[in-house]
A and B are shown apart, each in its own frame.
Chain A
Amino acid sequence: AQTVTQSQPEMSVQEAETVTLSCTYDTSENNYYLFWYKQPPSRQMILVIRQEAYKQQNATENRFSVNFQKAAKSFSLKISDSQLGDTAMYFCAFMKHGMRTGTASKLTFGTGTRLQVTL
């Protein structure tokens, strides 16, 4: 079974600064996907960024980037130029690659990191 660990329950960052959220995971799978989801107070789950395990290049989406270390099973999220709207819970999630087309794979979530962006 897969496990996802987020060791930082809460973090705080000042507006315009950079913050890194940590995530480690444990799996025996070789093909899988990793995600960061954001959950603002509205409780909507919003996909921030995704990474395919077979890709060595780290994914980036505007101010969001990841540091994917497959051997270390680490998948951290860096938020640059933090904005007040980034205040939210951030969840790291793992999904193994489906064995065949048409099969579903569940997301396994970490416990989340609550990020507060301050003025």
Chain B
Amino acid sequence: DTAVSQTPKYLVTQMGNDKSIKCEQNLGHDTMYWYKQDSKKFLKIMFSYNNKELIINETVPNRFSPKSPDKAHLNLHINSLELGDSAVYFCASSPRQGTATYEQYFGPGTRLTVT
């Protein structure tokens, strides 16, 4: 019954590897997001999808590629991992704007450690 879930919660990997983080929401929301929280706790948007369409793509290296197979899922694939990719990655979802509620609901986060 978790609203926004992410797997895995922890991910430890070596430089150069490719990894994916999965996100699923069961809230019936149309929009999903990926945020990155760095070691200083600063949170910044990476991507956003609305009904499987990419609508926000901040300045993120091409090694990061989001994929949305349906509006309940938004996965994040990272190629050729680097030390600087170590962070906590949060998935979030929100209903479409114009509805009564619009706030974003966050998943539990995935702590990625690149060694």
Binding site for B on A (CB under 8 A): 33, 35, 37, 39, 42-47, 50, 89, 91, 95, 97-98, 100-109, 111-112
Number of A-B contacts (CB under 8 A): 71
Please list the residues of chain B having a beta carbon within 8 angstroms of any beta carbon in chain A.
30-31, 33, 35, 40-45, 48-51, 55-56, 58, 88, 90, 92, 94, 96-98, 102-106, 108-109, 111
Assembly CA distance A106 to B56 (angstroms) = 8
Instruction: Knowing A47-B103, A112-B41 are in contact, say whether A104-B90 is a contact too (CB < 8 A).
Output: no
Complex Cα distance, B105 from A39, in Å, reads: 13
Q: Can you offer 6 A-B residue contacts whose CB atoms are under 8 A?
A: A39-B41, A44-B108, A47-B104, A98-B97, A102-B50, A104-B56
B3 to chain A, nearest CB (A): 11
B106 touches A103 (CB 8 A): no
